[in-house]
Amino acid sequence: MIEVKDVYFTYPNGVEALKGTSLTIKNGEFLALMGENGAGKTTLVKHFNGLLKPTRGNVLVDGVNTTKVSVAALARKVGFVFQNPDNQLFSETVEEEIAFALKNFGFKEKTIRKRVTWALNLLDLTQYRKTSPFMLSGGERKRVALASVLAWNPKILILDEPTIGQDYQQKEKLRQFILQMKAQRKTIIIVTHDVEFVAECKPRVLLMRQGKITADGEALEVLTNPEILTYTSIVPPQITQIFLQLSDLNLSEEVIDVYEAQKKLLNILEKRAK
Amino acid sequence: MSVFDGLKFRRVYSPIHNLDPRIKFVYVCAIFAVAIVYWKLLPLAILFLIQVPFVILARVEREWIRSMRGAALLATIIFLTNFIFSFINAGYIVTASNLEYAIAMTLRFIVLIESFSVFFLTTSPDHLGLALEQTRVPFEFCFAFTTAVRFVPVLAEEAQTIMDAQKARGLELERGNFLKRIRNYIPILIPLIVSAIRRSLELAETMESRAWGATKNRTNLYTLKLHKGDLVLIAVTGLVLLTAIYVRVFLTIPSLNDLLGGFFYTARFLI
Amino acid sequence: MAIIETKNLTYIYPNRTAPSIKDVSIKIEKGEFTLITGPSGCGKTTLCRCFNGLIPHFYEGSIEGEVTAAGLKVIEHPICELAKHVGLVFQNPENQLFALSVEKDVAFGLENLGVPRDEMRKRVDWALNLTGIYDLRERAPYELSGGQQQRVAIASVLAMQPEVVVLDEPTSFLDPLGAKKIFEVIYDLNRKLEVTVVLVEHRLDLTAKYANHIIIMDSGKIVLDGEPRKILSSEEARLIGVGIPKPTRLYQILQKDGINLGSTIPLSSDEMAATLRRVLEANDRS
């Protein structure tokens, strides 16, 4: 469980990135953090693994204050996958890359080998075990970065902008993957701009603006509220936009999904046909 | 990070900032030449003081004091080295002229640091790049210079991100003996270098796509024109040089010993 | 007159054995807004680089077939000449800016071409105004947001006044509002200045509505080429795995359920809303 208690954070250059945010994330929750660039989303999640410590207020991970433990200790529980995989890849082979964190955390040789094989399998990378990560394509490098974090099986997984540069099929695979992780009772937090992706995943959604949390609720609720979305500079999902434009026809606007929209419209047209 | 702060773009408007960098550079070289010519304390002290008005006019007092402080260690070493050697040469006695010599050498070093520091503090990198271009330095070098400066803040930020990413995988940079700590920097350096190489490739693609190499006669959006302030600086430089040469050739400069000796003599006389 | 044309174009990067694009034959007419899309690795980025000569001159490798841009055979002319006619905007805004001020960056191409200062000044100001960044002209690139940086990159291409502007996933690193602004700028260029636009994109929901020509690639080959509405509502497009705009998808599945929504296939939420409104109101009346 992650508790954020009235946290303020100012960067060394004087920019106040968090202005009194409070939040509780329970074990096993799936959460999306959205907002425009500079709203404070990445700043907030960097508090969860101790990379940043609050200027005021407290952050507790499983009851432990993040200022009392090292980043490495917190990282055992909180896996953070950064936006750009090239910011972490440095090993000669994919295998070594995945083993890196395991070595840092002091896992035994045998366990390391098992975990590496498991992670390679999970992300469809077994064929690349002995390949240099630099020889792989962009999407493959993203998977290596993800594998290297999953290898130590953190309870909490944070993905920073996981959909950037991905095509439709890759996003679908990512969505399936997140569902898999969710089934394993992991707590999953994604930081993203991608409204359509969030609409498909349907997590709990938090909106941020200028260092404050402006909305917190289920995807269906938050993504169909035009005022709060405009305030946070977020464009509603395409399907919701359709229904918002037809609001004068007394159709409910709480739709974010194509198939829900289909059902709703079929219903309405059948009713009217009678 | 503080080193990089100095190179980050900071817009200050002052008469010194607006001076043509080429003229400023000539001025700095003149100071350098004059400082080399003298080894007596008095003229060097005068040289040091001449530049203070520049610092004040340019409103860079704080940064200037910081760079002076940075030079303090080296200055102390120079002083001690010179003093000890002349002490030994004079047969292990402290004489006024040895002391003066050591102080003068130190002051010479400080004058040099002072003038170069004023130069770099009052010349923005793009101004400097423009000056390089107009002095017919081959464009490839000017371009390499300004592009490097432009990317310094980007690389600094990237280095920080890479450190965060690796720390989040359990890398502990502060632990371990000396050798281990150096090895711990490999996961930071490699992504940084690989990223720099990738970046260069993308930059090269863009350069080509913006018609790089289309003609040998490159034109420039900006041009450096000399104006009143620059002419004043040229005059000041000329004056300083001529005075220095005249004094060196035709006059003898009293040493501190003489001045002080004179003072003591006068004081004794008064008593 | 096709402003970009390729005939049986095949290209293999150096040190590779398989071609990245195979037997590609396309025609892009003057004034078109062409969208090129397809799954990752389909060859769209490689194809773009053939339009201004980066392939084959910068990347070398082996090339077969013909590619002509603005009447010039790309294989026979150097990049610095082709750059006057075909501008290329890349994915990462940060790596397209070299100078320490915005206007110096916008002038970069013109300086390379040896354009006289007065003419340069005029063109730079014109390009800055077109992209809405005139107020930012003296700022340093580090001080700008990703969206602003990308607009500087577009301005620096526009200043050279090419007939065609090719953009390779220009909004990958931008947030949706920044992306929207870029697409509006590009659409304006196409409509008002009649600049031919070739846009490589995944985000079809934001861009399909601007295009009058769409090309879908897969595994280095051209699979679909033609009018956007027809192609995006086809089953084939869906099977390739491109991100069909959601409104178009909704239209598709409702049509399959037997609802007649008319023959105009919507590409945006506005169009779909208008279509639904018509159908619901007609329904009301009956």
Using pLDDT thresholds of 50, 70 and 90, give the confidence band for residue B263: low
Give the pLDDT confidence score for residue C261 in this predicted structure.
Answer: 86
Give the least confident one: A246-255, C102-111, C175-184, C211-220: A246-255
C166 reaches B (C-beta below 8 A): no
3-state secondary structure of B57: helix
Please judge whether A234 and C176 are an interchain contact, meaning their C-beta atoms are less than 8 angstroms apart.
Answer: yes
Please judge whether C79 and B209 are an interchain contact, meaning their C-beta atoms are less than 8 angstroms apart.
Answer: yes
Q: What is the CATH number of the domain that holds C40?
A: 3.40.50.300
Q: B3 lies in a domain? A: no
ipTM: 0.90
Are residues C86 and C173 both part of a single domain? yes
Read off the pLDDT of residues C142-152 as tens digits, 9 standing for 90 and up: 889 999 999 99
Are residues B83 and B205 both part of a single domain? no
Residue A204's identity, in one-letter code, is: R
Closest partner CB to C241 (pick from A168, A233, A234): A168
Q: How many domains does chain C have?
A: 2
Last residue in a domain, options B209, B243, B260: B209
B167 reaches A (C-beta below 8 A): yes
| Mean pLDDT in residue range A162-190 | 92
Domain that holds residue B203: 146-209
- To the nearest 10 degrees (0 to 180), the angle between helices C246-256 and C269-285 is 30
Using pLDDT thresholds of 50, 70 and 90, give the confidence band for residue B223: confident
User: What residues contact residue A212 under an 8 Å CB cut-off, 6+ apart?
Assistant: A19, A20, A21, A40
Using pLDDT thresholds of 50, 70 and 90, give the confidence band for residue B265: low
Domain that holds residue C194: 2-228
Do the bridges between strand A2-10 and strand A56-61 make them parallel or antiparallel, or are there none, so unpaired?
A: antiparallel
Give the least confident one: B241-245, C106-110, C192-196, C233-237: B241-245
Please judge whether C90 and B129 are an interchain contact, meaning their C-beta atoms are less than 8 angstroms apart.
Answer: no
Give the least confident one: A92-96, B53-57, B184-188, C129-133: B53-57
Shortest CA distance from C244: residue in chain A: A168
Please judge whether B164 and A90 are an interchain contact, meaning their C-beta atoms are less than 8 angstroms apart.
Answer: no
d(CA C99, CA B101): 47
- Facing residues of C68 across strands? C5, C73
Q: B196 lies in a domain? A: yes
The fold of A1-83+161-234 is Rossmann fold (3.40.50)
Q: B201 lies in a domain? A: yes
Read off the pLDDT of residues C6-60 as tens digits, 9 standing for 90 and up: 999 999 999 889 999 999 999 999 999 999 999 988 999 999 999 999 999 999 9
Q: How many alpha carbons lie under 13 Å from residue B93 in its C-beta half-sphere?
A: 5
Tell me the CA distances in angstroms from B21 to B122, B135, B225, one per residue in order: 9, 11, 11
The whole-angstrom distance between residue B270's C-alpha and the CA centroid of its chain comes to 47
B202: chain C residues, CB-CB within 8 Å: 90, 92, 95-96
C108: chain B residues, CB-CB within 8 Å: 210
C172: chain A residues, CB-CB within 8 Å: 164-165
Q: C281 lies in a domain? A: yes
Q: What φ, ψ does residue B143 adopt, rounded to 5°?
A: -65, -45
Closest partner CB to A88 (pick from B166, B172, B186): B166
Are residues B102 and B64 both part of a single domain? yes
Using pLDDT thresholds of 50, 70 and 90, give the confidence band for residue B3: very low
Q: Across all residues in chain B, what is the average pLDDT?
A: 81
Give the least confident one: A173-187, B76-90, C241-255, C256-270: B76-90
| Mean pLDDT in residue range C110-135 | 95
A208: pLDDT strictly greater than 80: yes
Q: B34 lies in a domain? A: yes
Give the pLDDT confidence score for residue A14 in this predicted structure.
Answer: 87
Give the pLDDT confidence score for residue B5 in this predicted structure.
Answer: 42
Residue C197: name the closest of C94, C92, C97, C88 by CA: C88
d(CA C154, CA C135): 16
Are residues C98 and C153 both part of a single domain? yes
CB B253 within 8 A of CB B40: yes
Q: How many domains does chain B have?
A: 2
Give the pLDDT confidence score for residue C83 in this predicted structure.
Answer: 96
Please judge whether C242 and A168 are an interchain contact, meaning their C-beta atoms are less than 8 angstroms apart.
Answer: yes
Domain ranges of chain A: 1-83+161-234, 237-274
Sign, Cα dihedral of A201, A205, A207, A211: negative
Q: If DSSP states are collapsed to H, E and C, what string results for chain A?
A: CEEEEEEEEECCCCCEEEEEEEEEECCCCEEEEECCCCCCHHHHHCCCCCCCCCCEEEEEECCEEHHHCCHHHHHHHEEEECCCHHHCCCCCCHHHHHHHHHHHCCCCHHHHHHHHHHHHHHCCCHHHCCCCHHHCCHHHHHHHHHHHHHCCCCCEEEEECCCCCCCHHHHHHHHHHHHHHHHCCCEEEEECCCHHHHHHHCCEEEEEECCEEEEEEEHHHHCCCHHHHHHCCCCCCHHHHHHHHCHHHCCCCCCCCHHHHHHHHHHHHHHHHC
Are residues B119 and B233 both part of a single domain? yes
> Nearest CA of chain A to the CA of C139: how many Å?
19
Cβ–Cβ contacts within 10 Å for residue B36, how many?
A: 10
Peptide bond between residue C56 and the one before it cis (omega within 30 degrees of 0): yes
Are residues C33 and C112 both part of a single domain? yes
Please judge whether A239 and C247 are an interchain contact, meaning their C-beta atoms are less than 8 angstroms apart.
Answer: yes
| Mean pLDDT in residue range B98-104 | 81
The structure tokens listed for A265 are 């419209």
d(CA B124, CA B118): 12
Please judge whether B158 and A87 are an interchain contact, meaning their C-beta atoms are less than 8 angstroms apart.
Answer: yes
| Mean pLDDT in residue range A82-110 | 93
CB C246 within 8 A of CB A256: no
Last residue in a domain, options B164, B180, B209: B209
Read off the pLDDT of residues A39-67 as tens digits, 9 standing for 90 and up: 999 999 999 999 999 999 999 999 999 99
C284: chain A residues, CB-CB within 8 Å: 272
Please judge whether B198 and A86 are an interchain contact, meaning their C-beta atoms are less than 8 angstroms apart.
Answer: yes
Closest partner CB to C254 (pick from A170, A262, A272): A262
d(CA B56, CA B53): 5
Are residues C56 and C24 both part of a single domain? yes
- DSSP class of B221: S
> Nearest CA of chain A to the CA of C214: how many Å?
17
d(CA A35, CA A22): 16
Using pLDDT thresholds of 50, 70 and 90, give the confidence band for residue B258: low
Pick C157 or C233 by higher pLDDT: C157
Shortest CA distance from A163: residue in chain C: C172
3-state secondary structure of B22: helix
Interface test with B, best of A80, A90, A112 (most B CBs within 10 A): A90
B253: pLDDT strictly greater than 80: no
Give the pLDDT confidence score for residue B269 in this predicted structure.
Answer: 53
C83: chain B residues, CB-CB within 8 Å: 208-211, 214
Please judge whether A86 and B195 are an interchain contact, meaning their C-beta atoms are less than 8 angstroms apart.
Answer: yes
B117 reaches A (C-beta below 8 A): no
Q: C235 lies in a domain? A: no
Q: Across all residues in chain A, what is the average pLDDT?
A: 92
Q: B7 lies in a domain? A: no
Give the pLDDT confidence score for residue C197 in this predicted structure.
Answer: 97
A105: chain B residues, CB-CB within 8 Å: 170
Q: B131 lies in a domain? A: no
Using pLDDT thresholds of 50, 70 and 90, give the confidence band for residue B116: confident
Q: C160 lies in a domain? A: yes
d(CA B219, CA C110): 8
Are residues B92 and B185 both part of a single domain? no
Please judge whether B206 and C95 are an interchain contact, meaning their C-beta atoms are less than 8 angstroms apart.
Answer: yes
User: What residues contact residue A209 under an 8 Å CB cut-off, 6+ apart?
Assistant: A35, A36, A39, A231, A232, A233
Are residues B205 and B259 both part of a single domain? no
Using pLDDT thresholds of 50, 70 and 90, give the confidence band for residue A93: very high
Closest partner CB to B153 (pick from C83, C107, C142): C142
The structure tokens listed for C83 are 């750059």
Closest partner CB to A139 (pick from C40, C247, C276): C40
Query: Any idea which residue has 């909490």 for tokens?
Result: A156
Residue A167: name the closest of C140, B38, C45, B127 by CA: C45
Give the pLDDT confidence score for residue A56 in this predicted structure.
Answer: 94
B266: pLDDT strictly greater than 70: no
Give the pLDDT confidence score for residue B60 in this predicted structure.
Answer: 76
Q: Exposed e or buried b for every residue in C45-83, given b needs 16+ CB within 10 A?
A: bbbbbbbbbbbbbbbebebebebbbbebebeeeebbebb
3-state secondary structure of B93: coil
The structure tokens listed for A6 are 């009235």
Read off the pLDDT of residues B148-188 as tens digits, 9 standing for 90 and up: 888 988 999 999 999 999 999 999 887 778 888 888 899 99
Closest partner CB to A104 (pick from B162, B170, B198): B170
B176: chain A residues, CB-CB within 8 Å: none
The whole-angstrom distance between residue C128's C-alpha and the CA centroid of its chain comes to 20
Give the pLDDT confidence score for residue B271 in this predicted structure.
Answer: 46
Q: C236 lies in a domain? A: no
Are residues C133 and C213 both part of a single domain? yes
Shortest CA distance from B142: residue in chain C: C99
Are residues C149 and C81 both part of a single domain? yes
B/C interface, count of CB pairs below 8 Å: 113
d(CA C280, CA A265): 9
A37: pLDDT strictly greater than 90: no
Shortest CA distance from C286: residue in chain A: A273
- Facing residues of A16 across strands? A10
Are residues B26 and B154 both part of a single domain? no
Last residue in a domain, options B209, B239, B258: B209
A245 reaches C (C-beta below 8 A): yes
Sign, Cα dihedral of A153, A159, A163, A166: negative
* Burial label, A210 (beta-carbon count in 10 A; 0-12, 13-18, 19+): middle
Q: B30 lies in a domain? A: yes
Q: B55 lies in a domain? A: yes
> Nearest CA of chain C to the CA of B135: how many Å?
17
**CA dihedral defined by B6, B8, B12, B16, rounded to 10 degrees?**
60
Please judge whether C257 and A273 are an interchain contact, meaning their C-beta atoms are less than 8 angstroms apart.
Answer: no
Give the pLDDT confidence score for residue B105 in this predicted structure.
Answer: 85
d(CA B166, CA C284): 62
Name all chains with 3 or more CB-CB pairs below 8 Å to chain B.
Answer: A, C
B6: pLDDT strictly greater than 50: no
pTM over 0.90: no
> Percent of chain B scored above 90 by pLDDT?
17
> Nearest CA of chain C to the CA of A105: how many Å?
33
